[in-house]
Structure 1
Amino acid sequence: MAATVVPEDAPDRGALILDRLFADASRRRCVTHVEHVPARVGTRVPWPVWADPVLVSRLRAAGIDEPWSHQALAAEHAHGGGSVVLATGTASGKSLGYLMPVLSDLLAQASARALYLAPTKALANDQLRAVRALNLTGVRAATYDGDTPASERDWVRAHATFVLTNPDMLHRGVLPSHRRWAAFLRGLRYVVVDECHGYRGVFGSHVAQILRRLRRVAARYGSTPVFVLASATVSDPGRSAGRLTGLDVEVVEDDASPRGATRFVLYEPPLITPWQPPAPPEPSRPRPYPAGRHPAGTQPAGSEQPAVQSTPSMQPRRSAVSAVVAPAPAGMGPAGQGESSIHGHAGASVRRSATAEASDLLADLVADGVRTLVFVRSRRAAEVVAQSARRALSDVSRDLVDRVAAYRAGYLPEERRALEADLRSGRLLGVAATNALELGVDVTGLDAAIITGYPGTLASLWQQAGRAGRNGQGAVAVLVARDDPLDTYLVHHQEALFGRPVEATVLDPDNPYVLGPHLECAAAELPLTEADLDLFGPVARTTVDDLVRRGRLRRRPAGWYWTHRHRPDVDIRGVGGAPVRIVEASTGRLLGTVDAATSHSTVHCGAVYLHQGSFYVVIEFDLDVAVAFVEADTPDWTTWARERTDIRVLDVARSRTVGEVALHLGTVEVSSQVVAYQRRQIVTGRVVGEEPLDLPARHLRTRAVWYTVTDGLLAEAEIDEDDVPGAVHAAEHAAIGILPLFATCDRWDIGGVSTALHPDTGRTTVFVYDGHPGGAGFAERGFLRGEPWLRATRDVIAACECAAGCPSCVQSPKCGNGNEPLDKPAARRLLEAVLRRLDPVGAGRDTSS
């Protein structure tokens, strides 16, 4: 075995960037911790004896003299006929681990076929480029996705030996038309599932059932493909991969690739003082929240909403920076305010937004010639960061302005391809991107990664940080904290980031809301048989019986048949229907798309829409045809949608009662409706108007965890009747912000409702629910870890230095009622009283220090 050493100058590159970036004392004061991730040598091994010699020669010509040992080990497992998951770090060369056996077999057998599944089109196109660059005439590789012209699809089905697609196209385009794919399926030898750690929650459960449908259809054509999965470093990758595929999977997780030194910076933006309104009349006594409190016994309308209402998505790609997603206005003024723009109590100190800080960091890095990728949480934020950085760079060099761009979903295919090419070539020095560029796109030579807000999981955090330094050089990664309880907690508790194992990928293929529709799809593809039920899991039999009772399937001697002429309609990403098209009214030009689930918040009539640095205002939103018509404008305000939410308890699965506190897990129905929007000035955040909206309500049946408290406990916590709504509302916001620390989820995957008196419980109640039909397991993790979850919630409130509540503790970036009412001191007293019942030993232990 030969050892490869990282270049000696790699660590110095990161140190130089760090010194220049934080040369200013005021910026250095925002750094809470710098973690040094040391360089690592790599271990190479000889090429496998079975590897095709032409392939090996092409790889050597591309600069790969020998594979790393983990690549060779995974390739040996796959070539030997065993399914395998390769779970190693970012930029560890996982693609070579599956390309060795796949391409060798395609070159050796003319009838062999392989299928590659990627979570994004960008990654599939990147892999296609890499395969074609090897110039292997015996391998006919092609993408098959929504961007593939109809004229090319027949060629792909008939002639391609290596088809690169995504789970959506497999679900909607390949499996329903399997007879047209008969030759391909008959020769199917390998199925590659790239970036499989991204298939989690409800989306992951859908993908698991799609893979079972693929295995079933392939078996009917006589093939039993080997599954090769590539994953970021996760906890227990074998179990996760096994649940995803339904197979026993070998695990390769010892990373033998070299790595340059990385300096990982935790950065908390500074406090600022927001706009001051005219002084109101002096109140009789100070209150911790504005007037207009809800009377006891009513639900505050400010209950926090999930990113998606009726059929949410698992993708962590939407956030409050979207032009009109409740609640934070996305600033575009000179200060570049964005994610947590000024929306707190008048005169209270809030932190400068993470997007504003990221914009400044990006501009400084680009000015120094540092190739930088900024990850943001929303499409809107990508536009904001790129535009703010370009504006700052215009004072330095006009040439640099054109070397910064935004990259996000919703762009047209040709726009995305051009941006990807410019980023790879180095023409672009700085890119602000959503997590579409988190997953595997091979961009070498990047020097820095800026992560704007904790992305929800450690796996995603390390994926994004690993985009920098991909050619073995030293690099810098910066986590810029949002004004959010979890971000605040993490930048002051570095051990929660650097001392923890990466999470396991959580998915539940047996979720009946997922399994039932896929059994319908399977029956529509080929009649279901008794033998098929084992493939679909232990609850398939009862689910099939239920579908028969409901008239969805019909039993015949040969099996179960789909009863309708139309195909089952299953939305695997939970986006609630077809994307809404954004059309410029004056020209008919298609600007982009937005998913249906967030369209009520983002493209309602009057909403501000931002596309590639240009502002538009929605003049008409046609729900029937899923089109939002816009016209170009330059408003000095942005829009903020307001939502109303109700929740109903349908059943209680598990409960635990300790004195005056009861903790429950069960099924609920959440009803939400966008009822109005506010116009807020960009620079000051001041509300300049509110308009009602007439949009239909959306309903979500899901799982929730909730706790109830008695009037006696409220009295013990010294919470007056008038203060109850503010106390429970603040406690709800903080609990939602902290739950991702205990469950593999994102704040945008969950929602909450708090009420002083709920009709179904008869008590003061705080709900936190999964933002996905049928649930995704997040609420259950909250129930199982109730004491540490609520203790961390109490701790983050106690540790925050603000007096009346801020986005770092109890204000929410997606509150549908503008963060009113909120009572931070009362929320802390409430949680302390709750913990004295649930966790009397640890109640007084403060984990915030």
Structure 2
Amino acid sequence: MGPGELLDVLLAGGRRAERATHVRHVPARAGVRSEWPAWADADLVRGYRALGVDRPWAHQVEAAESVHGGRHTVLATSTGSGKSLAFWLPALSAVRSGAADAVLDPGRIESARRRPTVLYLSPTKALAADQLAGLHRLLHAAGTSDVRVATCDGDTGRDERRWVREHADVVLTNPDFLHFALLPQHRTWSRVLSSLAYVVVDECHAFRGVFGAHVGLVLRRLRRLAAAYGASPVVVMASATTADPAASAGRLLGVDPAEVHAVTADASPAGRKTVVLWQPPELPGTDGPWASLLPADDPWATVLTVPAADTAEGRDAPDGAGADGATTGGDAARAVPAEGTGPLGTGEQLVAVPQDRPRRTATAEVAELLADLVIAGARTLAFTRSRRGAESVATTTRAHLAEVDPTLPSLVSSYRGGYLPEERRALEQAIRSGHLRALATTNALELGVDISGLDAVLIAGWPGTRVSLWQQAGRAGRAGADGLVVLVAREDPLDTFLVHHPEAALDAPVEATVFDPQNPYVLAPHLCAAAAEQPLRADELDLFGPRAAELLAELTERGILRRRPSGWYWTHAEPASRMTDLRGSGGQPVRVVETATGRLLGTVDAASADATVHPGAVYVHLGATFVVDELHLEDGVALATRRDVDFGTWARWVTSTEVVEVEREVTWGPLTWSFGQVDVTTQVLGYQRKRLPDLRVLSTHELDLPARTLRTAAVWWTAPPEVLAEAGVTLEVAPGALHAAEHASIGLLPLLATCDRWDLGGLSTVVHADTGVATVFVHDGHPGGAGFAERGFELGPTWLRATRDAIAACPCGTGCPACVQSPKCGNANEPLDKAGALRLLTTVLAHAPRETVARADPGAGPARAETPDLAPGPPGAPRSGTA
């Protein structure tokens, strides 16, 4: 059944036609083959052919030739385009060639050579396990057993780890293992490092923000130690389609982008994709469980008057068709009035967007659509934004299917982080083999785990970036087959905007990977780790960038490192690698254990344990419900009992920001612009039990859990009453105006601080306890700070001016993801007042120091006039703050 027929299934004979706001047909693409390279190992070629690869695609050969020729290479092509062949063909060919050379004449000592080794790095253990299985299939098909392949990570036992160090040709691991184990203990890994020929960095677009900066420095430390052992490995990186992959790869590796060959022309075939933007229906009536929470008049709504159309200055109305001839349906097919280019007060045409009535949840809608696809025989992945969402979609889908055929529910399961490794491997194999027709999953299956032959992908809520959108969409119709992709909007202004503005989601270019290895808060602990591994010499500092010398001097002055004529030394007893955590996870995960049996059900991140596995919480595991009896935070254990319940639990918490120390402060007339240390405190206060599926509140319970406090760096500005009055921001408008200004400034800071918006948090309030007036905070989302807020303080007027200009230039009428909405707002993007934020920022900038505005920042490069892309950032680990 093709995507057209599957779409007909979802439209239900026209009964759901109004829910499809846009339908885009992405045409098929023919594949372009190339011949196998002459240097490719004949047995490996035979193995690939036995697996169905008669001839490789042109982009695979281009990348493989570049790698074989000794040049660092990044391959940035679509999901399912066969990137693995491009790096395994030259790497395994080199290993086999080296193995053969080593035994050409075993009787002569001068003929002895070391076998080349390969190090493979991935962001997840699941991806490494998937690659290991693929390598075993290839080597078995090739009929060769002389290549020794193994995974080695934190779960690997001591004896197995010793075997890997002494014998493995290909080691599959992750950056965390490099940082904590391999590099600090490099002498025991001398065989691998001295023979290191290739380093493979898979899914390198996942290394972004602070995590990306950490990984970039780990790679520099790896290259440094390899050089000390006489090796100069070629690095090959595989990435999703991103903007400027050569620049990102060069920054990650620590080399000039000119030294990286980028392969971006995808020569693999692609079937015709049908992409549908979908909005769930409004709920009938107003007697739902949330109706009592909705006031008759929304005090925060900004009423925008639509001026008379000015044909001389107004924009043309869109014609309802995309650049590639896309067709539209639903609201998009009707006449759309021209939308203006700014909010009220700019003198430009505006369109007031009415408030929507409550709509069905995206998870409920996806569960119904998934059930229909399963009944139709389609193999489908349903992506959700949370673990709870994945379990909810799977459970509800099975309930729908049970009403049709009692044999169908067993064809659906959930997949998420926190499952045991063996459970995840079994689910992956089941969806590959067809024993399962559908998986409801988090973005854990977004990365390169090989799952092919899928007919459709459902996406419950905007995944955060266009990179993630196309990665998830790429799971449908892999290997040249046709596929159906449906993005279902959540009841959120961000999602609502996107499904009615398809050009914002489908036509805009993908984002670049953003990170900064020169961030001193990240670089300093890695310099210490490098000195502990091997004393740092002055001639090695270029590898770590221009800030290394300055930071080493500071570290020496503080007694953290010691300077000797031969270099910088680490002289402390504790390992230097313990100074930093690559992922900033904030503690060991909490284990969820079944009380009666002692069986380990799964794990939960320490930061989210209070809200998800508190006493009384409902924990869902593979469709089975458990109720948590006890949470022992000090031991990292939650005890749960198996119970069938018809309700779920939702935690309630409060977040506050307290100024600890004002380190720097500037007066802007009646305003203050400040930088310092803050405590961001979050505490779970209780939870509600809500009946499923109507979410009616059954009971409310209090909890006695400790507050969690993040001490970090923040920048903040104040707006006393006279400034609000000058801006025409009344008390009713102030919360929305401040909130919108906070969101937009967080979206703009990555332009100046080379961070990621998911590395930041924020708070806005009409009256803050420490300042006594209206205040907007933007803080780093990492303990101790990461330098981003400080950068914002230094570039205050430039930053706020860019924020103000981005809001004014955005063509929406009342606010959208490109200006004031945030993909990670804890308040569901309410209240927001775009017009009020514009007036407020304009007034604030009027008081900014003139000389500061005019002077270019020496570290920021030339001034940039263009408005940056403020598309929402990707989902990741929850950070402090709401913006």
TM-score of the superposed pair, with normalisation by structure 2: 0.79
Q: Greater CA deviation, 182-191 or 783-792?
A: 783-792
Q: Greater CA deviation, 77-86 or 639-648?
A: 639-648
* Counterpart residue identity of residue 57, structure 2: W
| Distance change >3 Å, CA 677–CA 782, structure 1 → 2 | farther
Matched, 1:260 2:271: yes
* Counterpart residue identity of residue 280, structure 2: P
Deviation, structure 1 residue 784: 7.1
| Distance change >3 Å, CA 38–CA 549, structure 1 → 2 | same
Instruction: Name the residue aligned to 2:389.
Output: 381
Give 2:125's match in structure 1, choosing from 121, 145, 168. Answer: 121
> Runs of 5+ in structure 2 lacking a partner?
100-114, 302-354, 793-797, 847-864, 872-883
Deviation, structure 1 residue 690: 3.9
Tell me how far apart the structure 2 counterparts of residues 782 and 88 of structure 1 sit (CA, whole Å): 34
Note the 1:83-482 alignment, pairs <5 A: 83-110=72-99, 111-134=115-138, 135=140, 136-247=144-255, 248-272=259-283, 275=287, 288=299, 349-482=357-490
Retained in 2: the 8 A contact 1:650–1:668? yes
Retained in 2: the 8 A contact 1:34–1:266? yes
Instruction: Name the residue aligned to 1:671.
Output: 680
Give 1:73's match in structure 2, choosing from 62, 67, 72. Answer: 62
| Distance change >3 Å, CA 224–CA 278, structure 1 → 2 | closer
Tell me how far apart the structure 1 counterparts of residues 845 and 404 of structure 2 sit (CA, whole Å): 57
How much is the aligned-residue C-alpha RMSD, in angstroms?
3.7
Tell me how far apart the structure 2 counterparts of residues 413 and 281 of structure 1 sit (CA, whole Å): 42
Q: Secondary structure at the match of 2:392?
A: helix
Deviation, structure 1 residue 789: 4.4
| Distance change >3 Å, CA 729–CA 602, structure 1 → 2 | farther
| Distance change >3 Å, CA 811–CA 147, structure 1 → 2 | closer
Note the 1:576-587 alignment, pairs <5 A: 576-587=586-597
* Counterpart residue identity of residue 535, structure 1: L
| Identity across matched positions, percent | 48
Retained in 2: the 8 A contact 1:456–1:746? no
Deviation, structure 1 residue 760: 6.5
Q: Secondary structure at the match of 2:710?
A: strand
Instruction: Name the residue aligned to 1:500.
Output: 508
| Distance change >3 Å, CA 286–CA 80, structure 1 → 2 | closer
Q: Secondary structure at the match of 1:41?
A: coil
* Counterpart residue identity of residue 686, structure 2: Y
Deviation, structure 1 residue 245: 0.7
Deviation, structure 1 residue 616: 2.5
* Counterpart residue identity of residue 122, structure 2: A
Tell me how far apart the structure 1 counterparts of residues 809 and 744 of structure 2 sit (CA, whole Å): 8
Question: Relative CO higher for 1 or 2, CA cutoff 8 Å, sep ≥ 6?
Answer: 1
Q: Secondary structure at the match of 2:150?
A: strand
Q: Secondary structure at the match of 2:32?
A: strand
Encode CA deviations 1:347-392: one digit per residue, 9 max, x unaligned.
9832221111111111111111111011111111111111111111
Deviation, structure 1 residue 200: 0.4
Matched, 1:787 2:804: yes
Deviation, structure 1 residue 578: 1.3
Tell me how far apart the structure 2 counterparts of residues 402 and 457 of structure 1 sit (CA, whole Å): 33
Q: Secondary structure at the match of 1:176?
A: coil
Encode CA deviations 1:528-563: one digit per residue, 9 max, x unaligned.
222332212211222222323333222334332223
Retained in 2: the 8 A contact 1:673–1:695? no
| Distance change >3 Å, CA 23–CA 748, structure 1 → 2 | farther
Encode CA deviations 1:148-171: one digit per residue, 9 max, x unaligned.
344322222211101111111222
Tell me how far apart the structure 1 counterparts of residues 636 and 290 of structure 2 sit (CA, whole Å): 43
* Counterpart residue identity of residue 129, structure 2: N
Q: Secondary structure at the match of 1:478?
A: strand
Retained in 2: the 8 A contact 1:754–1:765? yes
Tell me how far apart the structure 2 counterparts of residues 575 and 486 of structure 1 sit (CA, whole Å): 27
Instruction: Name the residue aligned to 2:837.
Output: 831
Q: Greater CA deviation, 760-769 or 261-270?
A: 760-769
Give 1:689's match in structure 2, choosing from 679, 700, 704. Answer: 700
* Counterpart residue identity of residue 200, structure 1: R
Matched, 1:727 2:727: no
Tell me how far apart the structure 2 counterparts of residues 486 and 644 of structure 1 sit (CA, whole Å): 23
Instruction: Name the residue aligned to 2:655.
Output: 644
Q: Secondary structure at the match of 2:94?
A: helix
Tell me how far apart the structure 1 counterparts of residues 438 and 136 of structure 2 sit (CA, whole Å): 27
| Distance change >3 Å, CA 267–CA 610, structure 1 → 2 | same
Q: Secondary structure at the match of 2:44?
A: helix
Retained in 2: the 8 A contact 1:212–1:246? yes
Encode CA deviations 1:560-599: one digit per residue, 9 max, x unaligned.
2223222232211111021111122332221111122222
* Counterpart residue identity of residue 265, structure 1: V
TM-score of the superposed pair, with normalisation by structure 1: 0.82
Instruction: Name the residue aligned to 1:62.
Output: 51
Q: Secondary structure at the match of 2:2?
A: helix
Instruction: Name the residue aligned to 1:625.
Output: 635
Q: Secondary structure at the match of 1:42?
A: coil
Deviation, structure 1 residue 193: 0.4
| Distance change >3 Å, CA 703–CA 477, structure 1 → 2 | farther
Tell me how far apart the structure 2 counterparts of residues 77 and 486 of structure 1 sit (CA, whole Å): 42
Encode CA deviations 1:162-215: one digit per residue, 9 max, x unaligned.
111111122223212211211111111000001101100011111111111111
| Distance change >3 Å, CA 785–CA 612, structure 1 → 2 | farther
Tell me how far apart the structure 2 counterparts of residues 432 and 761 of structure 1 sit (CA, whole Å): 46
Instruction: Name the residue aligned to 1:754.
Output: 764
Tell me how far apart the structure 2 counterparts of residues 370 and 279 of structure 1 sit (CA, whole Å): 37
Deviation, structure 1 residue 398: 2.4
Tell me how far apart the structure 2 counterparts of residues 251 and 280 of structure 1 sit (CA, whole Å): 56
Matched length: 760
> Runs of 5+ in structure 1 lacking a partner?
1-11, 291-346, 801-807
Deviation, structure 1 residue 835: 6.0
Deviation, structure 1 residue 130: 1.5
Tell me how far apart the structure 2 counterparts of residues 560 and 741 of structure 1 sit (CA, whole Å): 33
Tell me how far apart the structure 1 counterparts of residues 431 and 687 of structure 2 sit (CA, whole Å): 37
| Distance change >3 Å, CA 191–CA 414, structure 1 → 2 | same
Note the 1:699-714 alignment, pairs <5 A: 699-702=710-713, 708-712=718-722, 714=724
Q: Secondary structure at the match of 2:640?
A: strand
Deviation, structure 1 residue 641: 3.0
Retained in 2: the 8 A contact 1:438–1:464? yes
Retained in 1: the 8 A contact 2:746–2:778? no
Give 2:610's match in structure 1, choosing from 600, 605, 629. Answer: 600
* Counterpart residue identity of residue 628, structure 2: V
Tell me how far apart the structure 1 counterparts of residues 520 and 825 of structure 2 sit (CA, whole Å): 29
Tell me how far apart the structure 2 counterparts of residues 360 and 424 of structure 1 sit (CA, whole Å): 23
Deviation, structure 1 residue 277: 6.9
Tell me how far apart the structure 1 counterparts of residues 294 and 712 of structure 2 sit (CA, whole Å): 46
Encode CA deviations 1:93-151: one digit per residue, 9 max, x unaligned.
11111111101101100211101111112211111111111223221111112343443
Deviation, structure 1 residue 450: 1.2
* Counterpart residue identity of residue 122, structure 1: A
Tell me how far apart the structure 2 counterparts of residues 435 and 541 of structure 1 sit (CA, whole Å): 40
Q: Secondary structure at the match of 2:232?
A: coil
Tell me how far apart the structure 2 counterparts of residues 444 and 559 of structure 1 sit (CA, whole Å): 52
| Distance change >3 Å, CA 526–CA 288, structure 1 → 2 | same
Retained in 2: the 8 A contact 1:661–1:834? no
